[in-house]
Structure 1
């Protein structure tokens, strides 16, 4: 089964300093048909004005992923981490029994654009954790976050995997899916065809009950997407 979540159909929020599009119900946006997908709870597509950001706030028992598309995040948290997260890098903050943090646009001149992603953990409590890494821009499917931290990936407290998909123009890739697993694909750049469905930037695709699927770059620029393998 393939179900498309079109970018134009997402929820929205605008606060002057922040413009956000919500793939799933979040904040003041509520859609009972879009409450998440498996353990995936939030994909927010955020644009933050220069020098602005999210003041210190708390989280508990959530795996929080940030992926910067343009600009740089200035991060500070109650565990003592003071970091910069530039475009192309992944950040994973495990909230555990509780953590406070702030996120600001590090630039006073240009907008910050990033994806904020929440995944519900299967382990609760415990000490909060912070991880950050650049996985490069190699073609194909690159594992980024796993439940084991294998091969240098970031370690997540959930039986889920996040991979970065990069496809040059005209290239295709076949991805296998284990019985009982689900995929969610979020397209960032380019035009992606998944079997018979075509995705544009900001679109998402829920995939269930398929043994394998073929993804193809059907546009004129390289494709960048995130692929979630979920329980």
Structure 2
């Protein structure tokens, strides 16, 4: 981790400019270098290495695959996602249920849009739309772990709510815990003209998950747009659409050597 001398910047990244993976069962938009998409100048912002906007068709998904030394947070916007891992955890993730998986020394897991099979149904036509985010842990080779937490709509409506955090100040907050004491994820569901404020931190990452908003110093942002803020905070976000949802990472360190 490192906290160099920083120059204030507000860097807008439009949805249409993101790396894209489009195959028969998956539409994925990558904010940073991911898989075969690599740009040495776009590997992370602060502690955030992955911010994937994924849509998976019914009955499909990611087969069992490994992860190591990463804190993985999943936030579903529509539909449901079935998680299974080599530690024996399994469950269905849906809107309002935050999930954290600590890969640590190594873990295998799968993620599929097949919850209907668990319910005894023969088919389902609804895709699942979710955001998956990866941040580096404080320490490598930690014991793998898993946590999920349901946050009712009233907790998220009209205000910025901490959904995942490793920061000491959030020890008593209703949030899943990540293994990085310099990072926190906040979510807000906004009605038209609702406002929230960007946290003041060396690094923040705003992602518009749904609808459209206006950000001071940046203007209008649409679904899928992102803003990387460095050494600046306090800007107001105002919802421009009846249903808007924003995800904001607050980070007080960055990754050195990536």
Task: Show the counterpart of 1:188.
Answer: 209
Superposition pairs of residues 10-89 of structure 1, within 5 angstroms: 10-89=18-97
Deviation at 1:31, TM superposition (A): 2.0
Task: Show the counterpart of 1:125.
Answer: 141
Partners of 2:174 and 2:188 in 1: how far apart? 17
Matched, 1:6 2:14: yes
Normalised by the size of structure 2, how large is the TM-score?
0.84
Deviation at 1:28, TM superposition (A): 1.1
Indicate the RMSD between aligned Cα atoms, in angstroms: 1.4
Matched, 1:139 2:173: no
Deviates more, 1:194-203 or 1:148-157: 148-157
Task: Show the counterpart of 1:105.
Answer: 113
Normalised by the size of structure 1, how large is the TM-score?
0.93
Task: Show the counterpart of 2:6.
Answer: none
The unaligned stretches of length 5 or more in structure 2 are 1-8, 117-123, 254-258
Partners of 1:177 and 1:125 in 2: how far apart? 31
Task: Show the counterpart of 2:256.
Answer: none
Count of equivalent residues: 228
Task: Show the counterpart of 1:165.
Answer: 188
Assess if the C-alpha contact under 8 Å between 2:190 and 2:244 holds in 1: yes
The unaligned stretches of length 5 or more in structure 1 are none
Partners of 1:17 and 1:170 in 2: how far apart? 36
